[in-house]
Amino acid sequence: MKTLIVRLVGIAIFVVAFFLPAVRGAETGPGSGPYIGWTCAVVAISASAGIPHLFTAGAMHDKETLGALCIILSGWINPLVGLYLLFSIWKKLVVVRRVVAVAMLVGMVATWVFFVKAPMYPLIGHYLWIGGILIVLSPEAVALFRGRPALETE
């Protein structure tokens, strides 16, 4: 029951973050933001359409490739949260859940690398988004350290 309550709190914080200012550009003026969380999510997941471009001749040496790869990875965090929650229903999928959790953490690091390259600054929505995800993942982390699947933690 504790696991369910913790995850519900994390989901609530995660969802609220989509309606708050998430990032702003380094410059001031038109187009510098702030950008609301859901718009950041749409832009990031839309970047996946650029995946084929990353594998064209010469693109791997393009100085923008790292930034593009980072925004693509960050765009997949939200779908992975959904998959993680779906896989949380079945306790035999603990290994799959943990792989998805690690992928989300890699996506978070990619998001921060993108912020440095862009440059962009995180705002309250970003911090709540990250915090909500970490709260959702926390029962899994506790269970990992205790050597049990997360559904068995009480």
Give the integer Cα–Cα distance in Å for 63 and 66. Answer: 7
CA 68 – CA 45 distance, rounded (Å): 11
For 5-72, the DSSP string reads HHHHHHHHHHHHHTTSEEEEESS-STT---EEHHHHHHHHHHGGGGHHHHTSTTGGG-TTHHHHHHHH
pTM for the whole structure: 0.85
- The pLDDT of 85-95, averaged and rounded, is 91
pLDDT tens profile 112-125? 999 999 889 999 99
| Overall domain count for the chain | 1
Question: Mean pLDDT of all residues in the chain?
Answer: 87
pLDDT at 118: 86
Note down the domain range covering 93.
2-152
The share of the chain scoring above pLDDT 90, in percent, equals 61
What is the average per-residue pLDDT within 119-148?
A: 91
pLDDT (0 to 100) of residue 78? 97
Instruction: Describe the strand order of the beta sheet including 21-25 as a list of residue ranges.
Output: 35-36, 21-25, 120-122
Vertex 133 angle, CA 21 and 86, to 5° = 125
Q: Are 7 and 140 in contact (CB under 8 A)?
A: no
